[in-house]
Amino acid sequence: MALRLVVNGSEKTVQAIAAGALMTEFVATLGFRPDRVAVERNGQIVPRAEWAACTLAEDDRLEVVHFVGGGMGPLT
């Protein structure tokens, strides 16, 4: 079981999932909190509400953005 994808411009083989896997499964393999991730598949943003119905295929091109909290500190 493995799926070849292009993730953020780099070809990757994801061992934990196979073709037909759901976007939710892919995001889980990344180890990120789903509410802090945005994903674009083949040039189209996939809304989080659609991840459970979005199936992945060989050579899909994914752009993944992980949001990180933080800040500058107090403004004076």
pLDDT, tens digit (0-9, with 9 covering 90-100), for 30-64: 998 899 999 999 999 999 999 999 999 999 999 99
CA distance 19 to 58: 6
For 3-66, the fitting CATH number among 1.20.120.160, 3.20.20.70, 3.10.20.30, 3.30.390.30 is: 3.10.20.30
Please give the model's pTM, rounded to 2 decimal places: 0.85
pLDDT band of 18, cuts 50, 70, 90: very high
Domain spans of the chain?
3-66
Sort strands 61-66 and 44-46 into parallel, antiparallel or unpaired.
Answer: unpaired
